[in-house]
Amino acid sequence: MGYKKFSMGENHRDSRNDIEKNKIQSNKYVQATQNTQSNMPNIPNQANQANQPNMLNQLNKPNIYTASDNNKTPPVDNLKSVSEPLFVKSISEIEIKDAFENDQMQKLKPKKHKFPVTALAFIGLCGISTIIFAFTPIPKTVETPLKSLAAFFTGYAYSHEALWISNPNPSDTEQINSGFTAGAEAPSNQENNLSSNAENNDSSGFNTEVSSNPISLASSNMTRISNETQYTISIPELLNEPYPIASVSTHEYSDEASVEVFSQCPPEVLIIHTHGTESYSDTAQANFRTQDKNRNVVAVGTKLADALAEKGIVSIHCEEMFDAESYIKAYSNSFSAVSEYLEEYPSIKYVIDLHRDAISDPGGGYAKLLADVNGTSCAQLMLVVGTDEAGAQHPGWKNNLRTAFEIQEKICEKYPDLMRSVNLRRASFNQQLSPGYFILEAGNCGNTIDETMESIQLFAECFAEVVVG
């Protein structure tokens, strides 16, 4: 059996150098002990056996000496100096050795860091806050600053340069990106001075003034795109791609009997309003928002559905205003609704999310975007197409862009001043649900609802020509 250092009231060090030194010293002490014991009188074995339990017990407690003890033979403990440790070889040493080795093993084990209680409390608080936020409508006093903050980070629809291409054909090689190509016509100075919310946020960031001077942002006979992404788009190549959607069926819609039959036909167009409370210049004092369905974009959607019915196209008009309770949750709400419609009516080929835009003019008010069509004042329109650049699972976004350009081209042929540029955006706007899904910005805050009704009638006419084929 080897020897282990044991010192009453002294801490043990775990250095192997100290342990080796102690082994050398232990041999000296044992030798000295043996020499001392050789000078002691012989004690019968029987006495040794009788006293052995007492000797073992004395190993675990200090020895106390008095003056009368001077003539007695000192115990083994007296052989060490005051600063020297005692080395023993006994049964008790086995327990001491095991305890010491266990202590060393504990020291060698990596320490486990406890997770701070404050961090756990913070994570729990965040989780509770997320649940409350998900199921509780946000107060308007909180929602407005959040939307202003979103406007600051996302910018406006016309903050990026756009490229105009006149009379595109397959031989054109112009590429659309954030800059211009040789020979491309730049946007007008008037448009560069305008700002648009374009589905980033609502009209709460501006005043309630409406410009008295009409502004035109027409594409004329040009195919134009306002590209706010990092994607490079070739318009000629895009227009040469096959149209991604099958033709829409038409049905008789002339008398009362045919109307009843018409309503039983499977719908192929869905009209929704993610921001259904958006309204026009007559609601300026209410921040251009109202839940009155006769004065907001829901009324424009009804006009579009009626105009399509006159062309024999069956549609569903969802009049729910998904931003009525929460503007921030509007797209989440409309996503769920559109998903349910598509599941219930797999015949739906097109989803038109009808909005009202919020373009400000240089004077700080809201622009009045007008097109003169055969002497009639019509609010200008714009198609908005999303992509997957912001992180949405939308790999087929070019199909949506192809659909939008087909409609844009048809309208520009018949009514050159009616359409603004196609706006390509980083967010998906739920358009991953269908290749025929797009946003239609119908008019601006500065327009009247009557001007918007005129333009939506023209849109329905051209849209029907495209989708029926």
Secondary-structure class of domain 155-468 per CATH: alpha beta
104-158, pLDDT tens digit by residue? 666 665 555 555 777 778 888 887 877 776 666 656 556 556 655 654 444 433 3
pLDDT at residue 254, rounded to an integer? 74
In angstroms, the Cα distances linking 397 to 7, 202, 234, 426, 427 are 80, 25, 14, 10, 11
With contact defined as beta carbons under 8 Å apart, do 288 and 309 qualify?
no
Residue 440 or 20, more confident: 440
Whether 396 shows a pLDDT value over 80: the answer reads yes
83-118, pLDDT tens digit by residue? 444 444 455 555 555 566 666 666 665 555 555 777
Q: Identity (one letter) of the amino acid at 90? A: S
Out of 5-9, 102-106, 248-252, 400-404, give the one with best mean pLDDT: 400-404
Give the domain ranges of the chain: 5-108, 155-468
The percent of the chain in helix, strand and coil, each rounded to the nearest 5, is 40, 15, 45
b/e 397-428 (16+ beta carbons within 10 angstroms → b): bbbbbbbbbbbbbbbbeebebbbbbbbbbbbb
